[in-house]
Structure 1
Amino acid sequence: MQRDDSVYPKHIRDSIAKIQAYTKSLNKASFLKDTLVQDAVIRQIEIIGEATKRLSEEIRAQHAGIPWQDISGMRNKLIHDYFGVDIEKVWLTVRDDIPLLKKEISGILKTL
């Protein structure tokens, strides 16, 4: 059975939307105090990382400018080294990387 290449980018898009909804009214200080939001965001980043791992090699190669390995690496860090999670790095990911990834994923979805 052939995999539908649009499934995983859609999962990534949906997780990004959730992260942005969870954090839209928060600044860094608020985020660092709110463990419920932290947990929700971390879960969505894990989903993004897992979906990234399941993308076809073709999609990854066509969009080589996206740091796929870094994204899946963050997922691994969050899942396997949960005591070592730097929540400030998570905030920076939300603030800086998620908007860029959203743009890239939107572009991918337009081509599928």
Structure 2
Amino acid sequence: MDNDIKAWLYDILNGINEIESFFIDVPKVFTNYQQDLKTKRAVERNIEIIGEAMSRILKQHNAPEISNSRKLVDVRNRIIHGYDPVSDEVIWGIVMKHLPLLRQEVEELLGE
């Protein structure tokens, strides 16, 4: 695997790990997330990082197949450029539904 792709995959994995770290001492409950502005912004920032890394991976001619990769880039663009507000529900859905699968796929690609 290309070293750049590997580095970006580690960036994705680090972003997922950081998001998960926000919920170690706090129950992973939507209303808790919704009421904690610092956690919301930190999660959004990590999704930006994940989306940017994914965007760079997708531009490579030998990009690995990763589920929902285009959707993650699109959400990143919406957050960064402020096209439309990204609802708490959308971000929470990514955290709960998409990040566990993304972690699994990235770890498999990295051989971890």
Task: Determine if contact 2:78/2:84 at 8 Å carries over to the other structure.
Answer: no
Instruction: Check if 1:75 corresponds to 2:76.
Output: yes
The runs of 5 or more residues in structure 1 that have no matched partner are none
Query: Please, which moves more after superposition, 65-74 or 31-40?
Result: 65-74
Distance 1:50 1:58 in 2: 17
Moved over 2 A (4+): 2-5, 23-26
Pick the aligned partner of 2:50 from 48, 51, 57.
Answer: 48
Q: Find the counterpart in structure 2 of residue 97 from structure 1.
A: 98
Task: Determine if contact 1:23/1:31 at 8 Å carries over to the other structure.
Answer: no
Distance 1:72 1:5 in 2: 15
Distance 1:93 1:5 in 2: 22
Task: Determine if contact 2:9/2:53 at 8 Å carries over to the other structure.
Answer: yes
Distance 1:85 1:74 in 2: 8
Q: Find the counterpart in structure 1 of residue 31 from structure 2.
A: 29
Question: How large is the Cα RMSD of the aligned pairs?
Answer: 1.9
Tell me the SS of whatever aligns to 1:103: helix
Structure scoring higher RCO (CA < 8 A, sep ≥ 6) equals: 1
Q: Find the counterpart in structure 2 of residue 58 from structure 1.
A: 62
Cα shift at 1:80: 1.2
Judging by fraction of residues, say which structure has more helix: 1
TM-score by length of 1: 0.86
Q: Find the counterpart in structure 2 of residue 4 from structure 1.
A: 4
TM-score by length of 2: 0.86
The runs of 5 or more residues in structure 2 that have no matched partner are none
